[in-house]
Amino acid sequence: MDETRIDREAMGRLAKAVAFICGADNATALALKAAAESGSDSDIKKARTLFLKLKPGDRKAALTMLDT
């Protein structure tokens, strides 16, 4: 079974949320933006890895911003 793939539009919104919380120059925000733009598997994997390394509070805040 393949991993669940996030659509590029949602990844772009997540990039904006992470940039708001952590700063526009944050490595995770930049990786998410690049993955949203390119859609390549390697960019998505890198962005996912960096997102999971964020502090739990930052991850939760970013995901909560997507719900609003």
Q: Which two tokens stand for residue 47?
A: 């962005």
Q: Which of 37, 2, 1, 6 is nearest to 51 (CA)?
A: 6
Domain ranges across the chain = 8-67
Average pLDDT over residues 52-61: 96
Which residues have C-beta within 8 Å of that of residue 13, sequence separation ≥ 6? Answer: 66
For residue range 1-37, list pLDDT tens digits in order: 345 567 888 899 999 999 999 999 999 999 999 999 9
Q: Quote the pTM value.
A: 0.87
Q: Which two tokens stand for residue 9?
A: 């539009």
Give CA–CA dist 49/44, Å, rounded: 9
